[in-house]
Amino acid sequence: MSPVLKITPIEEWLPVSDGPMIIAGPCSAETEEQVMATALGVSSIPQVKIFRAGIWKPRTRPGAFEGVGTVGLTWLQKVKEQTGLLVTVEVANPRHVQEALDHGVDVLWIGARTVVNPFSIQEIGEAIGNHDIPVMIKNPLNPDLKTWVGAIERLNGMGLKKLIAVHRGFSFFNRSVYRNAPMWEIPIELKRMYPNLPVVVDPSHICGNRELIPATMQKALDLAMNGLMVETHCNPAKALTDKNQQVTPAHLAEILSRLILRRESGNSEFSYKLDELRSEIDKLDEELIDILAQRMKVVEEIGIYKKANKITILQLKRWNQLAQDRIEAGVKMGLSREFIIKLLESVHEESIQRQIDVMNREES
Ligand code: PEP
Ligand code: MN
């Protein structure tokens, strides 16, 4: 069982408005002019509540632009004064926390590279101490829910209650159109574990390019995520970091105006119909599980037979043939190729494990 998180609802510390809560601002603060121009641009969009800008930006390889450092905090103070937006920066160590607190930063965020390290999370939590400041926790680089949850639980255990998880996608060895694979099942599982923890989606780091951003934002809303963090720059072509994934304030406003907002629940007639369909799903899932269990029984019988005849578990020819047949059959039934392959691989892996268990079983 997961411990209960004590979370202060966002509405208690952030003004509410219709639609998702938006965090916007450049990947990096570069100059005072760029920060102010971007901030003024996004401040006219009603859903934008928080202005972001990275000021400490150690890069994967040294030598490139590494952020403007502390001077950027004075620009953020100006943003607050002139626009009324809350401001947020990434902090990666206790010195960053101290400087951010000294300059009146409203919200802190912890980046994907820092979240992987529980030592850093502990130090950051200690540096925050009794300051009741909201903290956004990005997912770690690798698709590891436990590390993400661990950082959230650690900070919550240290007394921080204004927490938001930020889904920014995961590095993934398979080639993909995304810079960081969204693997939506991971933030969905996080929501299942902690329904009271707000989850904000960062489509910029998921997509890595502007073109995929609108569809990813819509998907986030369709999955009932609680807000969006979108990298926004007054002149993306000239951005010193992440130039391909930043949008102008005007482009952000346009994307937001096209998003379709759906409710999480509807009227009673809707609920009734939904319940009916859900019970159909429950029944089908029950049958599916029953069939899988029956399949594994037959797999074990085959294992016993192979063992008795000293035959290898993996029979490549059979597996290739079977996979081809099932993919064809599935595609004919309207299932996607990728889905059947994933399903077959998972069933096959379990089947092999069952037969390994049979081989290793002591005869009684
Ligand atoms: C960022 O938000 O600019 C950033 C560095 O993100 P991440 O930590 O998700 O890579
Ligand atoms: Mn960035």
What is the per-residue DSSP string for 287-334?
Answer: HHHHHHHHHHHHHHHHHHHHHHTT--S--HHHHHHHHHHHHHHHHHTT
Decide: 179 in ligand 1 pocket, CB within 6 A.
Answer: no
3-class DSSP string for 146-187: HHHHHHHHHHHHCCCCCEEEEECCECCCCCCCCCCECCCHHH
Q: What is the pLDDT of residue 239?
A: 97
Residue with tokens 């502990």: 122
- Is the Cβ atom of 49 under 6 angstroms away from ligand 1? no
Amino acid at 261: L
Give the ligand with the smallest distance to the CA of 242.
2
H or E, element range at 61: none
pLDDT attached to residue 364: 56
Residue 96 beta carbon below 6 angstroms from any ligand 1 atom: no
Establish whether residue 354 lines the binding site of ligand 1, counting it when its CB lies within 6 angstroms of any ligand atom: no
pLDDT score at 262: 84
- Indicate the angle between helix axes 71-83 and 94-102, nearest 10 degrees: 40
| Those residues with Cβ within 8 angstroms of residue 151's Cβ, 6 or more apart along the chain or in another chain | 110, 115, 118, 121, 137, 140
Residues of the chain within CATH 1.20.59.10 domain(s) are: 268-363
Question: Which pairs count as long-range contacts for 217-223, CB under 8 Å and 24+ apart, including other chains?
Answer: 217/255, 217/259, 218/259, 218/260, 219/182, 219/184, 220/20, 220/167, 221/20, 221/259, 221/260, 221/261, 221/262, 222/262, 223/184, 223/187, 223/188
Pull the structure tokens for residue 90: 């990434």
Please indicate whether residue 27, judged by its CB atom, sits closer than 6 Å to ligand 1: yes
Distance 120 CA to ligand 1 centre (A): 16
Choosing among 3.50.50.60, 3.40.50.150, 3.30.450.70, 3.20.20.70, the CATH entry for 10-258 is: 3.20.20.70
How is residue 141 annotated by DSSP? S
Residue ID of nearest Cα to ligand 1 atom 9: 112
* Contact (CB, 8 A) for 250 and 211: no
Interval between CA 195 and ligand 2 midpoint (Å): 28
Task: Establish whether residue 168 lines the binding site of ligand 1, counting it when its CB lies within 6 angstroms of any ligand atom.
Answer: yes
Task: State whether the beta carbon of 208 lies less than 6 angstroms from ligand 1.
Answer: no
Task: Pick one of 1.20.1370.20, 2.60.40.1930, 1.20.59.10, 3.30.70.2170 as the CATH number of 268-363.
Answer: 1.20.59.10
Task: Point out which residues pair with 25 in neighbouring strands.
Answer: 231
pLDDT of res. 363 = 64
- CB of 112 sitting under 6 A from ligand 1: yes
54 lines ligand 1 (CB under 6 A): yes
Whole-angstrom distance, CA of residue 126 vs CA of residue 97: 10
Give the closest ligand to the alpha carbon of residue 168.
1
pLDDT, tens digit (0-9, with 9 covering 90-100), for 33-81: 999 999 999 999 999 999 999 999 977 788 889 999 999 999 999 999 9
For ligand 1, atom 8, the nearest C-alpha belongs to 111
Spans in the chain with pLDDT lower than 50: none
| Identity of residue 331 | V
CB-based contact 165:190 (threshold 8 Å): yes
Collapsing DSSP to helix, strand or coil, 144 comes out as: coil
User: How much is the pLDDT for 1?
Assistant: 61
| Candidate of 55, 138, 200 to mutate for ligand 1, largest count of ligand atoms within 8 Å of Cβ | 138
pTM value surpassing 0.85: no
> Looking at ligand 1, which atom is closest to the CA of residue 113?
8
